[in-house]
Amino acid sequence: MTKLILATESFPYGRGEKTFILPEIERLRQYYDITIISHASREQVEEGMCEELPEGIRVVCPGRPRLTGFDKVKALISIFLDRDGRMELKEILEGRRNQGERFYQSLAFYAQSLADRKKLRQSDILTVNEPMIYYSFWYSYFCYSMAREKRRYPDVHIVTRTHGVDLYHERISGGRQPFKHQMEKSLDAILFACGHAKQYYCTNIRKSMDDGRLYVCRLGTEKMDVPGEYRRTDAWQMVSCSNVIPLKRVPLIIDALAMIEKEKIHWTHIGDGEQMQYVEQYAKEKLTGKDNIKYNFTGYMENSKVIQHYKEHWVDCFITTSSAEGGCPVSAQEAMKFGIPMIGTAVGGITEMIQGNGILLPPDPTDEEIAAAIGKMISYDRETIGAMRDAAIRLWEREFDAESNTRSVLKILKNAEYAD
C-alpha cells in the first residue's frame, strides 16, 4: 500500500479542520497507508486528539515552528543566497506596493519552512526510493518545505489543497501570497474548493491558463436520510452558522432584523469566536423590545450536534453575510443537504451554492438589502419554497456529496502516484 503523508495545520488536534478532513480520510485509508503530520500548537495537543480518527493512522506532531533569533538571522542570510529567495525578492520589488511588509511576510514564511524542513529531515517519515504522496491540506509553509525537500526524494509526489487565507492576496495584510510560484514548480496538483478560487488563482497568481494540474475539488458532507415534513412553528425560523469573527459580518444580520417590523422571526446563530461578546451585546441593544424578533446564540457546536439540530428543528432559511469565502462553506452544505433555502453574499464559492435554492445578495450588502431578502423569502408561497428546497437537495447531491467528491480526490492522487 502506497504511503500517503497528510500535512495539516492542526488535525487531529483542535477543531478547525476536523469537519473537512474526516470524510476524506475515512475513505482514503482504504487505499493508502496514512501518516498525518500535524502542526498543532502545544495548547491544541493538550486538548486531546480527535476521537473519530480511524484506527491504524500514524500521527506525527512536530508542532508549529518556534523561531529563535538564530533561526531568523539564518533565514535572512539564506533568502539572499537562495535562488527561490532571490526570485521572491525580485517579485516583491516589481510589485512596488507594501514592499517592506511583503518582505517581512516572505521572510517569516521562508523561516518557518526552513524550521519545518529541518524537523521533516529529523523524522523517519521520508525514505529514499520509496514512492509516496505528500498531501498538504494547505498551500502554506509546510507545503513549501516539502517542495524543497522533494529535490532529495524524487519519488515523492506533492498534491496540495488551497482554501482562502493561503490563496487570496486580499486575505493577508501585505496583499501578496508568498512563494507561490516557487512552490508550484514542484507540485503534481493543486486542488481548489470552488471554481471561483481556481479562476482567481489563474488570473491573480499564475496569470496563465490551467496546464492540467489545477482541479476544482469541493469539500463535501456525508449523505444521510433527511427527515420528512416537520410541524411548522408560528415564527419564521432562520439559522446562521459560522465563527463569530469580522470576516463573517454577523452584526449585519442583527442590523437587518432590527429593520423588520411585522414578520415573526426566530433567529439562531451557531458558532463562537473573538466577536462573540460584542455580538451578544449588540443584539441586546438592537433587538430588545422587538416582540416579533427572537434570537438565540448556541455557541460552538460539534458538527454532529449541528446535524442533530437540523434533524430535530424545522428551519425555513439559512443565511450567511460573509465578506469572503475561500470555497463553499461546509456549514451551508449541511443546510443544503436538509433542503434549507439560503440567503448568501456573492463571494467565493457561495455564488456556486445558490442556484434556484435561495437569494444571492451583493458581495457587500446593506442592512436594507438583507432585510429585503429576508422579507422576500418569507413572502414566498408554499409551492415556491418547495421548489427551492428540492433544488437545494439536488444541488447538494450533484456537488457536495462527500462520497462522490472523495472519489475525485482519489483519482487525482492516483494520477500523481503513477506520474513519471
Q: What is the helix, strand, coil percentage profile of the chain, to 5? A: 45, 15, 40
Grid cell 498531501 in the structure block, residue: 135
Domains 3-220+402-417 and 236-399 share a fold: yes
- The cell numbers describing 148, all together, are 524543497
* pLDDT (tens digit per residue) in 350-407: 999 999 999 999 999 999 999 999 999 999 998 999 999 999 999 999 999 999 999 9
pLDDT given for residue 355 in this prediction: 95
pLDDT given for residue 123 in this prediction: 87
Span 234-245, average pLDDT: 95
Among 3.90.1150.10, 3.30.70.1150, 3.40.50.2000, 3.40.50.11930, what is the CATH number of 236-399? 3.40.50.2000
* pLDDT (tens digit per residue) in 261-271: 999 999 999 99
User: Residue 231 above 60 pLDDT?
Assistant: no
User: Three-state DSSP class for 14?
Assistant: coil
Least confident interval from 140-154, 231-245, 305-319, 320-334: 231-245
* pLDDT (tens digit per residue) in 151-199: 888 889 999 999 999 999 999 989 999 999 999 999 999 999 999 999 9
pTM of the full predicted structure?
Answer: 0.92
Confidence class for position 228, pLDDT limits 50, 70, 90: low
pLDDT given for residue 227 in this prediction: 63
Rg (CA), the chain: 23
Distance CA(392)–CA(409), nearest Å, equals 23
User: Residue 230 above 60 pLDDT?
Assistant: no
User: Residue 233 above 90 pLDDT?
Assistant: no
- Asked if the peptide bond before residue 154 counts as cis, ω within 30 degrees of 0, the response is no
For the chain, the domains span 3-220+402-417, 236-399
Confidence class for position 225, pLDDT limits 50, 70, 90: confident
Least confident interval from 70-84, 168-182, 207-221: 207-221
Confidence class for position 414, pLDDT limits 50, 70, 90: very high
For 115-119, which contacts have Cβ atoms below 8 Å and span 24 or more sequence positions? 115/65, 115/66, 115/67, 115/71, 116/39, 116/62, 116/65, 116/141, 116/142, 116/145, 117/145, 117/146, 117/148, 117/149, 119/62, 119/65
* pLDDT (tens digit per residue) in 2-22: 999 999 999 999 888 998 999
Q: Are 403 and 27 in contact (CB under 8 A)?
A: yes
Question: Higher pLDDT residue, 313 or 234?
Answer: 313
Tell me the torsion sign for CA atoms 185, 39, 242, 55. positive
Grid cell 512552490 in the structure block, residue: 183
Burial of 415 from C-beta contacts in 10 A (0-12 / 13-18 / 19+): middle
User: Residue 207 above 80 pLDDT?
Assistant: no
pLDDT given for residue 232 in this prediction: 63
User: Residue 136 above 90 pLDDT?
Assistant: yes
Per cent of the chain over pLDDT 90 is 82
* pLDDT (tens digit per residue) in 253-289: 999 999 999 999 999 999 999 999 999 999 999 999 9
Span 63-75, average pLDDT: 90
Tell me the torsion sign for CA atoms 73, 76, 82, 85. positive
Classify residue 199 as left (phi > 0), alpha (psi -120 to 50) or beta.
alpha
Architecture of domain 3-220+402-417: 3-Layer(aba) Sandwich (3.40)
